[in-house]
Structure 1
Amino acid sequence: MKKIAAALAAVLVSTTAVTAASLKPADITIALVYGIKGDPFYVTMEKGARAKAKELGITLVADGPSQWNPQLQTPLIDAMIAKKVNGMVAVPNDPTAMIAVLERASQAGIVLATADTFIGDGDYKKGTVTFPVAGVSSDNFAGGETACKALIDGMGGKGSLYVLVSTPNVPSDTLRRDGCKAAVEATKGAVKLAGVDYTQSNATTATNLTQAALQRDKTIGAVFGGNLFSAQGAAAAVRTANLQGTVKIASFDAPEEAIASLKDGLIDIVIAQQPGQIGAVAVQSVYDSLMGKTDIAAKVAVPFVTITRDNVDSPEAQSAIYKAK
């Protein structure tokens, strides 16, 4: 039995090697299933992915749900499976709910990488889910920590800091939240955490939550908005309360609206991810796997850019701004 199993394994390896060796770039189609349609972050990610696909001579197809919702994203991935794409870069809308459909893609022979967020615990070597070849994202914990350290400095190292992120379970959100909390904890009580609330990427919800927080705690000196909608909603509440300039705001993500708010003084710091680079690296990872390479990094952290009013016009900051079209 052992000899038979070994023989079968040898045939499988041989077949896989031949398939990889016989693939030509013109024959390869990679799907990008991004997080939410129309979001400048994902528009920029798609641009990076398409530029990389053009460089490699392969075809890229892309789609995403109208809302951040695994029930809306799942049929889009099933549609890509039905198209028999060779590879896929997915931005999972939920680390647990999206495992089943992405596993279906993997079982159909589609080489998979995740971008921006991950499935399982994100450890694709030894973790709970290991079928993706790579996970490519920003260092969200470090980004949240950096933003809140800057806010704490702007507060003079005292007062309360309020945190808004989109969801309590999406890894990118929780890592940003926890990075911010680490910055607060490092002050050893000089700065208090005024609370953490979840906006579901809705600016109106963020406004209402921030208004309630400002009424509840008069010592709030800063708000960390873990994505654009959270930060924009918080800025609206701060402006309504006539606390603009007094209550500092950091925004995670750098679409043009966030940069306009930065220049207008509504927002004080913007943490820019590099979604174009994330998309490009993820496509490269899938392509390399399809071509038979095995030394692919299972986890890649793409650096972010910190933008303030002092450096907003610098070439580095300008190149990091997300584009809506």
Structure 2
Amino acid sequence: MNIKSIVFTIFVFLVIAGALLYYFLATPSFVVKEGPPKVIAVLIASDLQLSSVEGVKAGLKELNYQIDKDVIIKLNNPKGDREFTAEMARQMVASKPDLMVGLSTSASSALIEANKDAKLPLVFGDVGNFQQLGITDIKHPGGVMTGVVVDNVGVAPKRMEILKSLSPKIKTIGILLNPKHVSYQDILKSSGEGAEKLGIKLIWYEIAAKEDIAKAMAKLVKEKPDAVMTTSEALISNNPSLITPILRTAKIPSMDFNVEVGIQAGYLMVYGVSRFEIGKQSARIIDKVLKGEDPGSIPVEFASTPSLEINKALADEMGIEIPDPLLLQANKVYR
């Protein structure tokens, strides 16, 4: 082998070696995260947000984090107990994690209250009203928090429109509501404005405890509104077995907000944002904070577009005819 061949061989080898080295160093999945794993303490309101937690994990994995190696997620679930939620929030702050995540309005509010002095970084998700968290500027939230907002309250008029398109004969809509809901007044206002525009009368059925459900449903069956809507509330969402069988027997069409379980729970229609997707969206913000960005300088984001699901099989069983234009609007139809 002459000298030119040797030089050429060495040159080719160096080029290939350099390319391989660049690939392994530049490809995110091979980036080595130095130091101990980051601890993320997560507070939810109830089992309702478990799909959001799974979304956070999935989102972090897509960003090349290895769960339990790069990040440790410590889940706190008060199972709908508001007093326990506040206690868990205080315990989380005392543990001084690298980052706190609140997945619901009540969970995030509890963390904000407990975090007043510690000022630990906080990312919220699945929050219905950012103003209730003390944020006035979504582009520059300030302080130590930012996150993802879901407008479950503001879309109430849209849910009414969908019910109205089911049948023009719908003149009254019953709404199941917890008077202790953190957005209680906003729900009354948004729903009232939507009903007024559509010429619909609202009938409120307040449920402050699980024991109230049977009484509220008995009253609802007696008054028999033309349709029923739920509100985003753990107490109502966690007890569909006490609600949907009664609506089915009474042949009252219903609209829920919970994409993950609403149809399976027995509601006729669902209009809302996937909590799993909210979790994934929150993960992208979590990533920024873990990499050193100031939460207060990260703009608050709004969740993706709501989707409509319809249980046509249930409609057929109840003798309810769903117009073809409404079926065509649906993102998913269960037949």
TM-score (norm 2): 0.68
In the TM superposition, what are the counterparts of 1:67-146 in structure 2 within 5 Å? 67-91=79-103, 92-93=105-106, 99-106=112-119, 110-117=120-127, 121-122=132-133, 124-126=135-137, 130-146=142-158
Q: Which of 189, 198, 222 is matched with 2:206 structurally?
A: 198
Q: Aligned in 2, Cα 1:112/1:35: closer, same or farther, shift over 3 Å?
A: same
The match for 2:311 is 309
Alignment gaps of 5+ in structure 1: 1-22, 319-325
In the TM superposition, what are the counterparts of 1:246-261 in structure 2 within 5 Å? 247-256=252-261, 258-261=262-265
1:5-37 deviation line (CA, Å, top 9, x unaligned): xxxxxxxxxxxxxxxxxx95864222211111x
Displacement of 1:308: 1.0
Displacement of 1:148: 1.6
1:202-236 deviation line (CA, Å, top 9, x unaligned): 3x633421321332x35x10111124347654433
DSSP-derived class of the 1:307 partner: strand
Q: Does the CA-based 8 Å contact 1:99-1:119 persist in structure 2?
A: no
Q: Aligned in 2, Cα 1:175/1:149: closer, same or farther, shift over 3 Å?
A: farther
In the TM superposition, what are the counterparts of 1:194-273 in structure 2 within 5 Å? 194=203, 196-200=204-208, 202=210, 205-215=212-222, 217-218=223-224, 220-227=225-232, 228-229=237-238, 233-239=242-248, 242-244=249-251, 247-256=252-261, 258-262=262-266, 267-273=267-273
1:152-171 deviation line (CA, Å, top 9, x unaligned): 23342442111112344323
* AA partner of residue 44 (structure 2): Y
* In structure 2, C-alpha distance between the alignment counterparts of 1:119 and 1:139, rounded to whole Å: 9
Displacement of 1:88: 1.0
Q: Which of 25, 30, 51 is matched with 2:58 structurally?
A: 51
DSSP-derived class of the 1:293 partner: coil
The match for 1:30 is 40
DSSP-derived class of the 1:85 partner: coil
* In structure 2, C-alpha distance between the alignment counterparts of 1:280 and 1:25, rounded to whole Å: 25
Larger Rg: 2
* In structure 2, C-alpha distance between the alignment counterparts of 1:276 and 1:161, rounded to whole Å: 29
DSSP-derived class of the 2:226 partner: strand
The match for 2:283 is 283
* In structure 2, C-alpha distance between the alignment counterparts of 1:209 and 1:168, rounded to whole Å: 16
DSSP-derived class of the 1:164 partner: strand
TM-score (norm 1): 0.69
Q: Does the CA-based 8 Å contact 1:211-1:238 persist in structure 2?
A: no
* In structure 2, C-alpha distance between the alignment counterparts of 1:97 and 1:76, rounded to whole Å: 9
Q: Does the CA-based 8 Å contact 2:45-2:107 persist in structure 1?
A: no
* In structure 1, C-alpha distance between the alignment counterparts of 2:80 and 2:299, rounded to whole Å: 28
* In structure 2, C-alpha distance between the alignment counterparts of 1:149 and 1:80, rounded to whole Å: 42
Q: Does the CA-based 8 Å contact 1:254-1:273 persist in structure 2?
A: yes
Displacement of 1:250: 0.8
DSSP-derived class of the 2:250 partner: coil
Count of residue correspondences: 272
The match for 2:16 is none
Q: Does the CA-based 8 Å contact 2:309-2:330 persist in structure 1?
A: no
Q: What root-mean-square deviation, in Å, do the aligned CA atoms of Structure 1 and Structure 2 show?
A: 3.4
Displacement of 1:46: 0.9
Q: Aligned in 2, Cα 1:96/1:81: closer, same or farther, shift over 3 Å?
A: closer
The match for 1:147 is 159
Displacement of 1:275: 1.2
Q: Does the CA-based 8 Å contact 1:138-1:304 persist in structure 2?
A: no
* In structure 2, C-alpha distance between the alignment counterparts of 1:89 and 1:97, rounded to whole Å: 11
Alignment gaps of 5+ in structure 2: 1-32, 313-325
DSSP-derived class of the 1:186 partner: helix
* In structure 1, C-alpha distance between the alignment counterparts of 2:221 and 2:226, rounded to whole Å: 9
Q: Does the CA-based 8 Å contact 1:98-1:119 persist in structure 2?
A: no
Mean Cα deviation higher: 140-149 or 285-294: 285-294
1:95-121 deviation line (CA, Å, top 9, x unaligned): 766542032442xxx211222236762
Q: Aligned in 2, Cα 1:199/1:70: closer, same or farther, shift over 3 Å?
A: same
Q: Aligned in 2, Cα 1:177/1:59: closer, same or farther, shift over 3 Å?
A: farther
* In structure 2, C-alpha distance between the alignment counterparts of 1:71 and 1:27, rounded to whole Å: 31
